Structure 1
Amino acid sequence: MGTSTTHTSDARPDNAAQRRAEDILAEVTASGAENGVQVAAWLDGELVVDAWAGSADVAGERRPIGPDTLIPAWSMGKGVAAALVAVLVDRGTPAYDMPVAHYWPGFGAAGKDGITLGQVLGHAAGLPRLPADLTPERLMDLPAMADWLAARPPEWEPGTAFGYHAWTYGLLLAEILRRATGRTADELLRAELAEPLGLGDDLLFHVPEHLDARVADCADGGWAALLDRMPPDVPFFDAAPRGVLPLAELANRADFRRTVLPANGVLTARAAARMYALLAGGGELDGVRLLSEATVKTATTAAFSGVDRTLGGPGAMGFGFMVGDSGRRPVRPPGGFGHSGSGGTTAFADPVHRFSFALVKNRMTLPGLGARLADEIRTALGLAAA
C-alpha cells in the first residue's frame, strides 16, 4: 500500500500566519463552535501553515485530532477529481473535448451523444437530477446509477448553461474514467496524483478498511437545519434528494465511506493544500512535474458562467474547479480556483501568489471559518487582500 504524506512531522512552521491560525483554531474549538479542525497553506512551494486542534470524536476528547486525521470533506473531492482528470488529460487520455460516448457508447442515448467530458466536469451536461426517492443504498450502487444516467435525456442543451451536479458529477466521472482508462477512480487517484505527491493515504475518494482508525467522526453543527429551511421545491433537492443529503449521518456510515464516489473526498488539510500548491505552481512542486502549465490553465479557466441552475446564484466553473468567488464573503481571491464542500470545508489555489489553502473539519456548520482563516493567513503573509 501507499504511504501517508511525506510531510508528517509535527514540527509546525514558525511564522505570524501559523501563530494566527493556531489562535483561531484554539478559539473555535474551545468555544464549541467547531469540534476538530485542520488548516494548511503553502506559499511559493513551501508549507507555511500547518495547524490542527480539537477532537476527531463527536462525543468528547477521547481521540484528539492530529495532522494525519482523515476528515470527510464532501465536495472538496470534486476538486481532487478535477486535478486527477487534468493529469490524465495532460497525458492524452481522456480529453476535455471528447464526447463521453466515445468512451461509454451507451451514454450517447437520449440526445447525449455530443456531451463532452469538459461539460461533465463543468456541470454543464444537463444531468444534475436524481430520483426523488433515492436511498443511500441505491446511490452506492454505482453501476446501476451509471446505467440510469445513461438512459436519461439532458435537462437543457448541454454546454448552454450550468447547474451544480451534486452527486451525478461523481457518478458520471467514476464510469467515464473506468471506461476510458480501464482503472477505477481510486486506483487512478493513488497512482497518478496522490503517490507522486507523497499523499498515498491522505488524498482519497473513499476509506479503505485499513485506514478506518484514522477517520474522524462527523457531527452536525447547524448544517442540517440550513438544508431543512430550504423550500422543498428548490432545484438543489433534485440534485441531492432528501434521502441522500450530505449530512453527518451519511458521512458516518461505513458502507458510504467505502464507496468510491469522486463527488466526495476524505483527506487531510495538508494533503489538499499540497495538491493545490502543485496547481498554484503551474503543475510542478518539489521538482516533480505532474502536468503542464497549459493544461492547468485550461482546467482552471472559467468555461461556463452565469446563474447556476441548481444553486440559484451566480458562479463560474472551469473543468471541475470553482473559479473566482461571487459569495458575500469570498473564500477564493480573484484569479483563484478550487472547491468547497458541505459543512464548511474548502480549498483553493491562488496562482497569482503561488499560494494554496485548505480547511477541513468534522463539525458541519454554515460556511464562514474558511473565509476568516484564509483572510487572516493571507494578511499575515503580506498577500493582497482577497
Structure 2
Amino acid sequence: MDPLQQVADELVESGSELGLQVAVHRDGVPVADVAAGIGPDALVHTYSMGKALTAAVVHVLVHHGAFGYDTPLAALWPAFGQQGKGAVTIRHVLTHSAGVPAVPPQTRPEDLCDWDGMCERLAAAEPWWPAGERTGYHGLAYGFLAGEAVRRAAGAPVSQVLREYVAAPLGLEEELWFGLPPDRHHRLAALVDGFDNAPPDGAPVLAITPRAVLPTAAFGNRPDILAADIPSGGTMTARAAARLYGALLDGSLIPPEQLAEIAAVAVAGTDAVFGNPARWGLGYAIGRPGSDAADSFGMAGAGGSWGWVDLPTRTAVAVVKNRLSPDFATASTIAAMI
C-alpha cells in the first residue's frame, strides 16, 4: 500500500481525523492523490488555506499588468485612503502589514455576505499602525482588502476572477472556489469541531475576529457563508490546491522571476496581533509544517488544513481535512514523509 494512503487510513481509523485528502505534485507531475474518510472529489472549506487562492489571483493580475505590488490600494479603491491609509499598497496587504487586521467588532455572519457593506466599513476603519510599520495577521480583513483590489482592477468579483484567470486555465473550475454555488453544496464534506475552539475573553484572536464569525464548524458549514465571496478562506480539494501551488512552480501561472519575488522573505518580525514570530513572502507564510525553512512557503487554515511548496525539491503539497483541530499535527506528519 502507498505509505501516504496507509497513514491517512490510520489517522481516520484511529479517530484522529474524520476525513482527509493529501495530494503531492513534483515538477508539475501529480505523484500522490490520497483520500480517507471522504472521497477525493469531496470539497472542504479550509478557512485561511484559501488565502493562497486569493494571493494567486493577485499574482496573476500583477503578471497581466492590472496593477503592481507597490500600487497604492487607494489608487484602485479611492475610499480606502480615509483615515490616513493612502500609503497602503498591494504589497502591504499581501504581507499583512497594511495596518487593518480586524473586521468591526459587531460583525455578524450576515455582514460578511454583504461585500459592499464590508468594504465600506474597512475603508472607513482607522488603521492600527501606519502602513508597513509592523506585521500582524489580517484574518477576515485580508480577503476583502485583496479582493476589492482585484474587483476594481478586473471589473468582476474575485470569485469570477479566480475562475477565469486561475481555475479554468488549470482545469480546476469545479475544485477551487470562493462563493461555492448552492448546487455544488452536496459535494461538501461537512466540517466537524474536534476541539473546544471558543477562546477565552481577552484572547488575541478576538481583537480581530468577533465571536460570531470565529472559524468553527457551525460557521464554516453555513450555506450563506459558503455561497458568499469571502476570500479570506476557500473551498477546495487537496489535489486542486497542490495543482495550484505546482502551477506557481512550473510557470503555468506566473514567470520564474515573479515566483522568486513571491517566495522571498518580504517581512519578518513579531506578529502585532498574536505575538508569534512571523515571516511573510508575498501572500504566503514562509515555512512548511514542522519547519520554518526559508526555502518553502504556503498557507495554513484554522482547523489544520495546509498547503505548501518546497522549493529545492520543486514539490507542492496539500493536506485538507474536515475535522477541525487545534494544531497541525496531521500536516506535520505528512510533511515528514515527503
TM-score in terms of structure 1 length:
0.84
Worse-matched range after superposition: 231-240 or 179-188? 231-240
Secondary structure in structure 1 of the residue aligned to 2:59: helix
Question: Sequence identity, in percent?
Answer: 38
1:108 aligns with 2:81: yes
2:242 to 259, 266, 273: 273
Q: Which amino acid counterpart does residue 127 of structure 1 have in structure 2?
A: V
2:10 to 6, 27, 36: 27
What is the aligned partner in structure 2 of residue 348 from structure 1? 308
2: CA distance, partners of 1:174 / 1:334: 27
TM-superposed CA distance for 1:130, in Å, is 2.2
CA deviations over 1:39-97 (Å, ceiling 9, x no partner)? 0001122111110011xxxxxxxxxx211111111101101111111111011112110
1:374 to 332, 335, 338: 335
Distance of aligned partners of 1:40 and 1:352 in 2 relative to their CA distance in 1, 3 Å threshold: same
Matched positions, count = 337
TM-superposed CA distance for 1:31, in Å, is 1.5
1:67 to 13, 19, 40: 40
1: CA distance, partners of 2:203 / 2:92: 23
Secondary structure in structure 1 of the residue aligned to 2:202: coil
- Which structure has the larger Rg over C-alpha atoms? 1
What is the aligned partner in structure 1 of residue 72 from structure 2? 99
TM-superposed CA distance for 1:132, in Å, is 2.2
2: CA distance, partners of 1:104 / 1:252: 31
* Matched ranges for 1:118-197 at <5 A: 118-197=91-170
Secondary structure in structure 1 of the residue aligned to 2:67: coil
1:78 aligns with 2:61: no
TM-score in terms of structure 2 length:
0.96
1:358 to 318, 324, 337: 318
TM-superposed CA distance for 1:311, in Å, is 2.1
Q: Which amino acid counterpart does residue 189 of structure 2 have in structure 1?
A: A
Q: Which amino acid counterpart does residue 375 of structure 1 have in structure 2?
A: A
Distance of aligned partners of 1:167 and 1:183 in 2 relative to their CA distance in 1, 3 Å threshold: same
What is the aligned partner in structure 1 of residue 177 from structure 2? 204
1:290 to 253, 262, 270: 253
CA deviations over 1:301-322 (Å, ceiling 9, x no partner)? 2211111112220011122100
2: CA distance, partners of 1:262 / 1:313: 24
The question of whether the paired residues in 1 share the 8 Å contact of 2:309 and 2:315 is answered with yes
1: CA distance, partners of 2:143 / 2:58: 12
The question of whether the paired residues in 1 share the 8 Å contact of 2:58 and 2:146 is answered with no
Worse-matched range after superposition: 231-240 or 174-183? 231-240
What is the aligned partner in structure 2 of residue 220 from structure 1? 193
Runs of 4+ in 1 over 6 A off after TM superposition: none
TM-superposed CA distance for 1:134, in Å, is 1.9
CA deviations over 1:328-370 (Å, ceiling 9, x no partner)? x625644101100010000001121110100001110122100
2: CA distance, partners of 1:211 / 1:129: 30
TM-superposed CA distance for 1:276, in Å, is 0.7
1: CA distance, partners of 2:260 / 2:229: 28
Q: Which amino acid counterpart does residue 175 of structure 2 have in structure 1?
A: D
* Matched ranges for 1:298-309 at <5 A: 298-309=261-272
**RMSD between aligned residues:** 1.4
The question of whether the paired residues in 1 share the 8 Å contact of 2:112 and 2:225 is answered with no
Unaligned 5+ residue runs, structure 2?
Answer: none
The question of whether the paired residues in 1 share the 8 Å contact of 2:286 and 2:293 is answered with no
2: CA distance, partners of 1:145 / 1:338: 26
2: CA distance, partners of 1:47 / 1:248: 30
The question of whether the paired residues in 2 share the 8 Å contact of 1:131 and 1:238 is answered with no
CA deviations over 1:18-37 (Å, ceiling 9, x no partner)? 71111111111111111111
Secondary structure in structure 2 of the residue aligned to 1:339: strand
What is the aligned partner in structure 2 of residue 248 from structure 1? 217
1: CA distance, partners of 2:138 / 2:239: 27
What is the aligned partner in structure 2 of residue 261 from structure 1? 230
The question of whether the paired residues in 2 share the 8 Å contact of 1:347 and 1:357 is answered with yes
Q: Which amino acid counterpart does residue 360 of structure 1 have in structure 2?
A: V
